[in-house]
Amino acid sequence: MIEIDVSLSRATGFTLDATFTAPGAGVTALFGRSGSGKTTIIQIVAGSVKPDRGHVRVDGETFVDTAKGVDLPIEKRNVGYVFQDARLFPHMNVENNLRYGERRTKRARTISFDAVVGMLGIGHLLARRPHTLSGGEKQRVAIGRALLAQPRLLLMDEPLASLDEMRKGEILPYLERLRDELKLPILYVSHSIEEVLRLSSAVAAVADGKVIACGPLADVLSRPELLPVIGRFDVGTIFECMVTAHDTAFGLSTVSFADGELRVPLVGSPVGAPARARIRSRDVSLALSRPMDVSVTNRLSGTIARITRAEGPFADVEVALAHTKLTALVTQESVQRLALEPGMTVWAMIKAVTVDSRPSGFSSPGAEILSPPASPTPEAPRPHRLLRVVPGGNPPRGTP
């Protein structure tokens, strides 16, 4: 368990006041817009920044506690740090960069050189110098160097921010393999919801120096208070699913969740594989009776739990299903015309024909299915299958 309760004020006027806990394994994303305080939090954890007040504890060991005068030196915290830019030593080849991480620790070696090289697929790069590597290759080497320092905790500060879309697609499967095989706790800083969906199991949402929500990914990213972080047209609902069938004749798959099924374009994962479905509120339509003669494939029945008037012409309608909920973004005119009110039974519709299959890339998503395939081989990783709803006629992206 990672416990963080810190505050800090800077001369620039920025104030950090962050309190949250993160699991002792897996990826916890610090998610928020640029300048929200995410990097400052992990700098405090690493020890490069000292808080004005508060404490940081990792698995019961205190890294810093201002009330007790505890402040462990950086080298005693046993934390690996991966920056936005790789920061490799230019005069060393890849192997020596990796060995540097290996030499700088006195901890027992539980992560071997060969295992790291194999997992990150960098065996063919060992004799090369950093200036000959692509951005994705540099980041993989930087991750390897951090791992070979035998960290108890890995901090990743927007490691994909400097990469183009192709290089992001190249490195993401390696990050997923790192997450799945090493079981290290990872604090992953990002302002990209696509990266968060791909990698994390827990999220701490950061806005204006405060952690405004923290918990399991599906729960946190479905909360309405995330609007300032995600943006009006990207908020939505996340369902944890399982692939249950493939219809190769029509190029469709069926994924099931607690309250039913969704039909989506063919998923490149076997039946029984987990999947994660994100459905943006703006892509959900409502009907008062069961839609019959319509092209929309996905139709879910539920009860209106709440209607919230939003900014401008919008209203958020929360639809309670049997075990989960779904949010629809509609106009206030629609609320009045249909006489929508809490307690009414409605049908939520999600168009399947607009789902586009993308093996990689991070264009703005509507609803998306992300399903992990089998672990990639070291030299030829397969990117995770990304299925996105790409609605016709995107409105302007809103700023809260």
Q: What's the rounded Cα separation, in Å, for the pair 48 and 100?
A: 20
Length of the chain: 400
- The pLDDT tens digits for 77-106 are 889 898 888 889 999 999 999 988 777 766
- The pLDDT tens digits for 163-213 are 888 878 778 888 888 888 888 899 999 988 878 888 888 999 898 899 988
Other C-beta atoms lying within 10 Å of the C-beta of residue 99: 16
Amino acid 333: pLDDT: 95
**Better-predicted residue by pLDDT, 334 or 149:** 334
Question: pLDDT band at residue 41, thresholds of 50, 70 and 90?
Answer: very high
Q: Does pLDDT of 368 surpass 70?
A: no
**Sheet containing strand 345-350, strands side by side:** 285-287, 345-350, 298-309, 314-320, 325-331
% of the chain beyond a pLDDT of 90: 37
Owner of token pair 């927007």: 158
Question: pLDDT band at residue 275, thresholds of 50, 70 and 90?
Answer: confident
Amino acid 359: pLDDT: 27
Question: pLDDT band at residue 364, thresholds of 50, 70 and 90?
Answer: very low
Amino acid 227: pLDDT: 67
Nearest to 82 by CA among 13, 171, 16: 171
Question: pLDDT band at residue 361, thresholds of 50, 70 and 90?
Answer: very low
Amino acid 90: pLDDT: 92
Amino acid 224: pLDDT: 67
Please name each of the domains of the chain with its CATH number: 2-228 (3.40.50.300), 236-389 (2.40.50.100)
Q: pTM for this one?
A: 0.75
SS3 readout for the chain: CEEEEEEEECCCCCEEEEEEEECCCEEEEEECCCCCCHHHHHHHHHCCCCCCEEEEEECCEEEEECCCCEECCHHHCCEEEECCCCCCCCCCCHHHHHHHHHHCCCCCCCCCHHHHHHHHCCHHHCCCCHHHCCHHHHHHHHHHHHHCCCCCEEEEECCCCCCCHHHHHHHHHHHHHHHHHHCCEEEEEECCHHHHHHHCCEEEEEECCEEEEEEEHHHHCCCHHHHHHHCCCCCEEEEEEEEEEEECCCCEEEEEECCEEEEEECCCCCCCCEEEEEEEHHHCEEECCCCCCCCCCEEEEEEEEEEEECCCCEEEEEEECCCCEEEEEEEHHHHHHCCCCCCCEEEEEECCCCEEEECCCCCCCCCEEEECCCCCCCCCCCCCEEEEECCCCCCCCCCC
